[in-house]
Structure 1
């Protein structure tokens, strides 16, 4: 069994493991609400729409985190504004902003001859190059997310299942929606430069969706999502070590694969009940 632990004898793999654990916890808290509210398309749009802000920040010599935060925040604000229109569905607004910001990002990138490597890092990250400062930043983001998730739990629950009742009870669903968008934005922005938008979206959706098939209580879904995210990180790092594959992409693939295994298990579990009826 030594082969399971050999990769983690290397310092940069251990750093990657800690980063994956923190991202898993962060994405479990935010991703559970993304799954329950059917906001997966929004999460995908925000993670890839950040390219515009990252590209502009990189070309201007500014910290790319600032560009990513402004870009993701701008998209979240745009979705909120377009969502008030009675003539446009929320998906339509998200799709328009997604396509528009991504296309502008590609145009900016195409004018920069030195951006090709940075674009690869944007999509796939470099989890094996995580530093102590990166881990500290993830820790702060996780702490903020945990506090907001705990304080906003009741409004988030009401918003997810019955927004009109939430309004009747005075829970201010509009404010809750903005806070929820803030959680998703924080999770994506805090993680993408370390593990790439591919891994962020994989851990944001895959583990919570897998856990939601088996659990009924929201805290249980979050706990299951965190555990599945950590398992995906460990398994992905081991596979990438021996198969010489991209670590971020491998972790994301494992996370999505666990969802399909969970879905298959749920189907087999329900099949005897359906036959019995």
Structure 2
């Protein structure tokens, strides 16, 4: 449980730093697609006896390149390429896994993770990735911020919006790959989007969103693991559900405060 908590915290740090940009730029679809798109690489790495993270990264990079290729060559909107590769990569992954004898068990492990089976070596890798993502986010902050509001302005400022976009996609891929073993390829999307989205309800500045997102995510991991331990539920799903539920709780609380303030202002108005 201690290793699971630490793995969850490291996953939250990585996903919240990157997920803040995902939420600000409206890139949730590509985040979801990458979370599914790593499955073929994971499945092949498993079959060939390779490191699963290596297979996931190759698959993620192939998907990022494929989205760009479809967008340039087929002259289709980016979301069309994302949708095509989303379904295709997920289907290919399931096909590869289905040829194994322990089909249902292995597929479940890939999709939903095994946070209680995290090793010390996994924690070391997660920690190094978290530090690398932090350095990349700090180093590319100005370019990412300009790109989030206006690509043309970013180009005028010499911040290379296309390269910044590809770098951001790469960071999303790294965040997904670094976290899938803890919470699975499906549930990692909950940590990538929910904590930053919750933070966006509370603060406006990007650095504050990242900090609040990490704090919300850490709290979700802790509560989810405690609930899972005492009630015998799936740890990974409980963590993801807690993270998403927190968003709606904060949203409801904010709306209640706004409604109360409006009521007070109406009551205080003359006549």
Q: Tell me, yes or no, whether TM beats 0.5.
A: yes
Q: Is the 8 A contact 1:122 1:197 kept in 2?
A: yes
Partner of 1:195: 183
What is the CA–CA distance in structure 2 between the aligned matches of 1:90 and 1:267, rounded to whole Å? 34
Partner of 1:155: 143
- How far residue 219 of structure 1 moved from its aligned partner, in angstroms, is 0.4
Normalising to structure 1: TM-score of the pair? 0.91
Partner of 2:195: 207
Partner of 1:101: 89
Q: Is the 8 A contact 1:51 1:68 kept in 2?
A: yes
- How far residue 195 of structure 1 moved from its aligned partner, in angstroms, is 2.2
Cα 1:45–1:259 change in 2 (3 A) is same
- How far residue 65 of structure 1 moved from its aligned partner, in angstroms, is 1.4
Select between 132-141 and 116-125 the one with higher mean Cα deviation. 116-125
Partner of 1:133: 121
What is the CA–CA distance in structure 2 between the aligned matches of 1:43 and 1:23, rounded to whole Å? 15
Partner of 2:80: 92
Root-mean-square deviation over aligned CA pairs: 1.6
- How far residue 271 of structure 1 moved from its aligned partner, in angstroms, is 2.9
Q: Give the SS at the match of 1:253.
A: helix
Does 2:203 align with 1:219? no
What is the CA–CA distance in structure 2 between the aligned matches of 1:148 and 1:136, rounded to whole Å? 18
What is the CA–CA distance in structure 2 between the aligned matches of 1:214 and 1:194, rounded to whole Å? 27
What is the CA–CA distance in structure 1 between the aligned matches of 2:14 and 2:53, rounded to whole Å? 17
Q: Give the SS at the match of 1:83.
A: helix
- How far residue 85 of structure 1 moved from its aligned partner, in angstroms, is 5.7
What is the CA–CA distance in structure 2 between the aligned matches of 1:86 and 1:101, rounded to whole Å? 18
What is the CA–CA distance in structure 1 between the aligned matches of 2:74 and 2:57, rounded to whole Å? 28
Partner of 2:27: 39
What is the CA–CA distance in structure 2 between the aligned matches of 1:135 and 1:110, rounded to whole Å? 29
What is the CA–CA distance in structure 2 between the aligned matches of 1:265 and 1:76, rounded to whole Å? 38
Does 2:4 align with 1:20? no
Count the aligned residue pairs: 265
Q: Is the 8 A contact 1:45 1:95 kept in 2?
A: yes
What is the CA–CA distance in structure 2 between the aligned matches of 1:267 and 1:197, rounded to whole Å? 32
Does 2:241 align with 1:239? no
Structure 1 gaps of 5+ residues are 1-12
What is the CA–CA distance in structure 1 between the aligned matches of 2:178 and 2:163, rounded to whole Å? 22
Structure 2 gaps of 5+ residues are 267-271
Q: Is the 8 A contact 1:55 1:105 kept in 2?
A: yes
After TM superposition, list the pairs within 5 Å mapping 1:108-147 onto structure 2. 108-147=96-135
Cα 1:103–1:86 change in 2 (3 A) is closer
Does 2:62 align with 1:77? no
Q: Is the 8 A contact 2:34 2:173 kept in 1?
A: yes
